[in-house]
Amino acid sequence: MGKAESQRAGNGSIGDEITMNTFSVYQIIVVNGPNLRFVGQRDTKVYGDGKIVDIPDILYKNNKNLSSRINLDFFQANGEGEIIDRLEKAWQSGISGMVINPGAYTHTSLALADCLGWIAVPFVEVHLSNVWSRNKIRHQSLTAVHSIGIIAGFGIMSYVYGLQALVDFLDKSSNTREDK
């Protein structure tokens, strides 16, 4: 994890206000599970017409400070094993955090949940749709128990809010670590 520093300092005379903010540059991956490659085209009445590729632009437009604070990577796979392989790789690389939409594996995949549990990388679970306003099988998430929180129901903005929440969480936990 890289470190960047911003500093506002006076000329050193007594009474000058000195503000020093140390902040981190986070490596973050956005992971999408099955049937999410064509978000923006798939069932737009349920999932909206926002596209995954637009996330960085929307994110940086909504929060200009974030562009210098995060390195974003994107991954999508339809297979459970491929997703788990990518998560293990992310863990091995020492990634800072993840935003994950596990798609239907949310409700069914103990294997994916086990992976998220043991790698213990902080992640926000996101859903385009409000899964609790849909059929009952979608009310259960096997994966969310390992998340720092869930955002659902805002279309592509769920990812944007998820990224903002993740960065806030990472900032707070690194400040807590530095305070000790």
Judged by the rule CB under 6 A, the positions of this chain that interact with ligand DQA are 35, 101, 103-104, 106, 127-129, 131, 138
Rounded Cα gap, residues 1 and 130, in angstroms = 33
Q: Which amino acid is at 59?
A: L
Active-site annotation holder among 26, 60, 105, 127: 127
Active-site residue, 127 included: yes
Closer residue to ligand DQA (CB): 70 or 152: 152
The least CB distance from residue 105 to ligand DQA, in Å, is 8
Active-site residue, 161 included: no
Active-site annotation holder among 47, 105, 146, 159: 47
Closer residue to ligand DQA (CB): 65 or 130: 130
91: burial class by Cβ within 10 Å (0-12, 13-18, 19+)? middle
Longest dimension (CA), the chain: 66
Closer residue to ligand DQA (CB): 121 or 142: 142
The least CB distance from residue 103 to ligand DQA, in Å, is 4
The least CB distance from residue 122 to ligand DQA, in Å, is 19
Instruction: Identify the H or E element spanning 66.
Output: none
Closer residue to ligand DQA (CB): 34 or 122: 34
The least CB distance from residue 64 to ligand DQA, in Å, is 27
Hey, what long-range contacts does 158-161 have (CB within 8 A, 24 or more apart)?
Answer: 158/101, 158/126, 158/127, 158/128, 159/30, 159/52, 159/55, 159/59, 159/99, 159/101, 159/126, 160/55, 160/58, 160/59, 160/62, 161/126
Residues annotated as catalytic (active site), given as ranges: 47, 127
